[in-house]
Structure 1
Amino acid sequence: MIAVGVIGALLAAMVGFLDLFAIPSGTPAFRTGLVHMTLNLLVTAAYVINFLWRYGDHTSGTGVGIGRLVLSALSVAVLGVSGFLGGKLAYRYGVRVADEATQAEGFTPHGTRRSTHTSA
């Protein structure tokens, strides 16, 4: 499962990398995006290390070991911080969020339409 997660993370990183460079540089959103990306890459590297560390022992029937558990716990903690920053990008800075007109469609009651013209 760790290997599948790493592959998924690398695929998501490619799309995220493109999203990052759509943000104007020098802005708080860009700086937040850089930290978000850096943390995600560090977590992915930690999971690769964790996978390789566990790979040889997966059939031995022994316990995981404290070092591997600590690495997993630290990875999850850093991933949580990165997730918070990703939420900040989307919900505070509006990165990769639909324009206001498209968002408004989600708050318009079903069956009613906004009219662009007025009647006389």
Structure 2
Amino acid sequence: MDALRQAKRPVSALAGPYGHPLHPLLVTVPIGAWTCSLVFDVASRLVGDPAFLAKGSMWLIGIGVAGALAAASAGFLDLLAIAPGTPAFRSALVHMSLNLAVTLAYVGGFGWRTAADHAGAVGAGQLALSAVSFAALAVSGYLGGRLAYRYGVRVADETAQAEGFTQADGPTQADASTQADGSTRADGLAASAPSAQEPASRRLTENEGSP
């Protein structure tokens, strides 16, 4: 449990405050840029004037690389919070290795494209490199989700999570159920008790007739 609590806490302010890690925020930049880049690559081979798509794809790759470097810095700090030798640590190592490989592949793709002529569509080799890199990125993203949602790395503990489900005004659902149950029992007792308005002679007669 100590290792789990440690993995939920930031090792530095640069990793983001407790419950608000920076790594998941920063990874949206490379994921979004590289996704759009792949869309531009495919579209460049379908339109009559592909030059603007090919050039746009190149710059999207560059933006993604810059964002990936920032995300990797925050992610490495989160890695330091995970106890070595645990399944979470092994998953984090694979996650980090895939991210580094993908980033290097996109760096190579960016260099390849800067030296190419953007008058035509994106080349088949460049498109294939982006597609393979994006597939590896998807696998890495799956592992990142596993770290957060299965192992709870940099996720607030359940006590903090419960604060989001506390009703500020009025009784909670459990309180309402308890009150309803109490009312039902009270009604049952009232129904079984003799009425105060029932004639005393009738109650006396019933008591005498009982064995």
Q: Is residue 2:143 matched to residue 1:104?
A: no
TM-score, normalised via structure 2 length = 0.51
Do the aligned partners of residues 109 and 56 (structure 1) sit closer, same or farther apart at CA in structure 2, a change above 3 Å counting?
farther
- The count of aligned residue pairs is 113
Q: Distance in 1 between matches of 2:171 and 2:86?
A: 36
Q: Which has the higher contact order (CA 8 A, sep 6+)?
A: 1
Aligned residue in 1 for 2:105: 46
Q: Distance in 2 between matches of 1:24 and 1:56?
A: 44
Which structure's CA Rg is the greater one? 2
Do the aligned partners of residues 70 and 98 (structure 1) sit closer, same or farther apart at CA in structure 2, a change above 3 Å counting?
same
> Unmatched 5+ residue regions in structure 1?
115-120
Quick one: percent identity of the two aligned structures? 62
Q: Distance in 2 between matches of 1:51 and 1:34?
A: 26
Q: Distance in 1 between matches of 2:83 and 2:138?
A: 25
> Unmatched 5+ residue regions in structure 2?
1-59, 173-211
Aligned residue in 2 for 1:32: 91
- Name whichever of 11-20 and 99-108 sits farther off: 99-108
1:12 pairs with 71, 75, 81, which one? Answer: 71
Q: Is residue 2:145 matched to residue 1:87?
A: yes
Do the aligned partners of residues 113 and 93 (structure 1) sit closer, same or farther apart at CA in structure 2, a change above 3 Å counting?
farther
Which of the two has greater helix per residue? 2
Aligned residue in 1 for 2:133: 75
- Name whichever of 62-71 and 85-94 sits farther off: 62-71
Letter in 1 for 2:151: Y
Aligned residue in 1 for 2:179: none
